Chains A and B, each alone.
Chain A
Amino acid sequence: MIEIVAVLAFAVTMSAMLTWVERRLLGLWQDRYGPNRVGPFGMLQPVADMIKILTKEDWVPPFADRAVFVLAPAVAVAASLLSFAIVPFAPGIGIADLNIGVLFFLAMSSLGIYSVLLGGWASNSKYSLIGSLRASAQMLSYEVFMGLSLVGVVAMAGTFNLREIVEAQRKLWFVVPQFLGFVIFTIAGIAETRRLPFDLPEAEAELVAGFHTEYSGMKFGMFFVGEYAGMTLISAMIVTLFFGGWLGPWLPPIAWFLIKLFAFLGFFILLRATLPRLRYDQLMAFGWKVMLPLALANVVVTGGVLLAARGL
């Protein structure tokens, strides 16, 4: 019970603090300050934002489908927070130890599409609808390679259990033999969380704010929490599946996990600071014509090597 509360608190606090970290780092990389007024180094900015977002008028447009409109942001938060149940933070720390951990993660991330799809449709506005159609097509496509890119890891570890996958990396992190899988999973993960350079569903220059154009107040805030929790989750999964999770010398396991986690969060933010947005047809062509064949080739080669190693 305490663990569940702790992990929930961790996920939500991380999402709040990430907004500040992201803006500060973007400021650093773009040669400006970022938020630095509220508290030391502006660290209390998320608190100020939270007060603002909670006291704002929570408006449902009269032309919206009310029930679905309210449901969508709840799905966004629930889907990403549920996945945290299977994240193995360190030996003994973590909520559930499922035999189908990897599949559970994939299933929950596939449910995340509903928030975008329903939010965009229920808003009953053209920008929202276009944004949500883009988002769902993008997430459906990239989910395919996300699953395929993990087949190599699962085959090498011989299990879907995340803790056993971490233990299987004692000698060598899977990022070395499964480098291709790592690259594909990372790209698919960025597309799945709809972050730059794959943030077409909310491309502000053409779609106002995409699927959440009509949202305000805490409902908008919940989409935000969902996005940042999703980003934390993808980083945690990269660390677990490819970078040995909590494994590392000297420091306690949980410290290693967090160090690796923050390294990838920083990498995600660096990507946002560096890369321009893709065009929609480029995004789709890249997915189906480059990523899918590469992921399939990775499955075939890994399978072949494993069979050869077993001397068949």
Chain B
Amino acid sequence: MTEIINDVLGDPVFAICALISVMGALTVVSRRNPIHGALGLMLAFLAFAVLFIRLNATFLAAMHVLVYTGAILVLFLFVIMLLNLSREELGREYGVATKGAIALLVAVMCGLLLFAIGKDPDLARPASPIVDRVLYPGSAQELRVAEDGGAGSKPWGGVDHVGTALFGRWIFPFELVSVLIIVAILGAVVLAKRKLPPES
């Protein structure tokens, strides 16, 4: 546990970004105004992008800003603005008992998470071998060598590594996901069109 705390304090960029992302996330759940909540989410997302860069995952960082911050969250805002809910429509606040129960549940879950991290500190460290194990099961060893600064080796997490992993080893799940997304889009279109009056 102390090892992890030292890790965090020894890395100010990580500490600051982690703080910003937690503050952003708290804003998301604590604001009554949904637009302010969405702005908090944007703050958290931008902090995540910096954390990705710290993990050497530059491609992921760029994609995170481009897709999540630049497109998906904009769509959130778009929908919130179109609905333009008034104070009454947002619903009444929960009572103290409900709030307390939720707070307790969250605290227990955070405790479990900290306990798990304490058991296996590798889980919490930047550029953890866990990422290697998941992304490159066969070649984790040589990748870690490259990361240590072998001459002329490109840092992992760049465009080429993500591309090779996605379209090489993981091509089948990748294609499955794209089929899933197309089905979801078609489903959304069908559901949206269903309310149209029958053609006369």
What residues of chain A have their CB less than 8 Å away from a CB belonging to chain B? Answer: 65, 67-68, 71, 98-100, 103-104, 106-108, 110-111, 113-114, 117-118, 121, 129, 132-133, 136-137, 140, 143, 147, 160
Give the interface SS of chain A, mostly helix, strand, loop or mixed: helix
A100-B58, A111-B69, A114-B42 as given contacts; A129 in contact with B81, CB under 8 Å: yes
- B residues near A132, Cβ cutoff 8 Å: 81
Report yes or no: A68 in contact with B62, Cβ–Cβ below 8 A.
no
When chains A and B are docked, how far (Å) is the Cα of A251 from the Cα of B66?
A: 37
Report yes or no: B58 in contact with A140, Cβ–Cβ below 8 A.
no
Report yes or no: B35 in contact with A65, Cβ–Cβ below 8 A.
yes
What residues of chain B have their CB less than 8 Å away from a CB belonging to chain A? Answer: 33, 35-36, 39, 42, 58-59, 61-63, 65-66, 69-71, 74-75, 77-78, 81-82, 158-159
When chains A and B are docked, how far (Å) is the Cα of A113 from the Cα of B65?
A: 12
Q: How far is the CB of B172 from chain A (nearest CB, A)?
A: 21
- A residues near B69, Cβ cutoff 8 Å: 107, 110-111
When chains A and B are docked, how far (Å) is the Cα of A114 from the Cα of B35?
A: 12
Report yes or no: A107 in contact with B65, Cβ–Cβ below 8 A.
yes
Chain A: CB-nearest residue to B84: A129
Report yes or no: B62 in contact with A140, Cβ–Cβ below 8 A.
no
Report yes or no: B158 in contact with A99, Cβ–Cβ below 8 A.
yes
Chain A: CB-nearest residue to B53: A100
Q: How far is the CB of B50 from chain A (nearest CB, A)?
A: 12
Among the listed A110, A117, A121, A147, which residue makes an inter-chain contact with B65, where contact means beta carbons less than 8 Å apart?
A110
Among the listed B36, B63, B71, B82, which residue makes an inter-chain contact with A140, where contact means beta carbons less than 8 Å apart?
B71
- A residues near B58, Cβ cutoff 8 Å: 98-100
Most chain-A Cβ atoms within 10 A of its Cβ — which of B33, B36, B61, B70?
B70
- A residues near B39, Cβ cutoff 8 Å: 68, 71, 118
Chain B: CB-nearest residue to A110: B70
Q: How far is the CB of B112 from chain A (nearest CB, A)?
A: 35
Chain B: CB-nearest residue to A98: B58
- A residues near B35, Cβ cutoff 8 Å: 65, 68, 118, 121
Give the interface SS of chain B, mostly helix, strand, loop or mixed: helix
When chains A and B are docked, how far (Å) is the Cα of A106 from the Cα of B63?
A: 9
Report yes or no: B63 in contact with A136, Cβ–Cβ below 8 A.
no
Q: How far is the CB of B41 from chain A (nearest CB, A)?
A: 12
Report yes or no: A114 in contact with B62, Cβ–Cβ below 8 A.
no
Q: How far is the CB of B123 from chain A (nearest CB, A)?
A: 27
Report yes or no: B62 in contact with A133, Cβ–Cβ below 8 A.
no
A117-B77, A121-B35 as given contacts; A106 in contact with B71, CB under 8 Å: no
Report yes or no: B66 in contact with A106, Cβ–Cβ below 8 A.
yes
Chain B: CB-nearest residue to A111: B70
Q: How far is the CB of A130 from chain B (nearest CB, A)?
A: 11
Report yes or no: A103 in contact with B63, Cβ–Cβ below 8 A.
yes
Report yes or no: B78 in contact with A133, Cβ–Cβ below 8 A.
yes
9 tightest CB-CB pairs across the interface, nearest first?
Answer: A110-B70, A103-B62, A107-B65, A107-B66, A100-B62, A100-B58, A113-B74, A107-B62, A121-B81
Q: How far is the CB of B52 from chain A (nearest CB, A)?
A: 11
Report yes or no: A103 in contact with B66, Cβ–Cβ below 8 A.
yes
Report yes or no: A113 in contact with B82, Cβ–Cβ below 8 A.
no
15 sampled A-B residue pairs with Cβ under 8 A: A68-B39, A99-B159, A100-B59, A100-B158, A100-B159, A103-B62, A106-B66, A113-B74, A114-B42, A117-B77, A118-B39, A129-B81, A132-B81, A133-B82, A140-B71
- B residues near A100, Cβ cutoff 8 Å: 58-59, 61-62, 158-159
- A residues near B42, Cβ cutoff 8 Å: 114
When chains A and B are docked, how far (Å) is the Cα of A101 from the Cα of B39?
A: 26
Report yes or no: B59 in contact with A143, Cβ–Cβ below 8 A.
no
When chains A and B are docked, how far (Å) is the Cα of A103 from the Cα of B163?
A: 15
Q: How far is the CB of A31 from chain B (nearest CB, A)?
A: 41
- B residues near A65, Cβ cutoff 8 Å: 33, 35
- B residues near A103, Cβ cutoff 8 Å: 59, 62-63, 66
- B residues near A110, Cβ cutoff 8 Å: 65-66, 69-71, 74
Most chain-A Cβ atoms within 10 A of its Cβ — which of B39, B59, B159?
B159
When chains A and B are docked, how far (Å) is the Cα of A12 from the Cα of B93?
A: 47
A65-B35, A99-B158 as given contacts; A140 in contact with B74, CB under 8 Å: yes
- A residues near B77, Cβ cutoff 8 Å: 117-118, 121, 136
Chain B: CB-nearest residue to A132: B81
When chains A and B are docked, how far (Å) is the Cα of A71 from the Cα of B77?
A: 15
Report yes or no: B65 in contact with A111, Cβ–Cβ below 8 A.
yes
When chains A and B are docked, how far (Å) is the Cα of A107 from the Cα of B65?
A: 6
Report yes or no: A136 in contact with B78, Cβ–Cβ below 8 A.
yes
Chain B: CB-nearest residue to A129: B81
When chains A and B are docked, how far (Å) is the Cα of A132 from the Cα of B35?
A: 14
Report yes or no: B159 in contact with A117, Cβ–Cβ below 8 A.
no
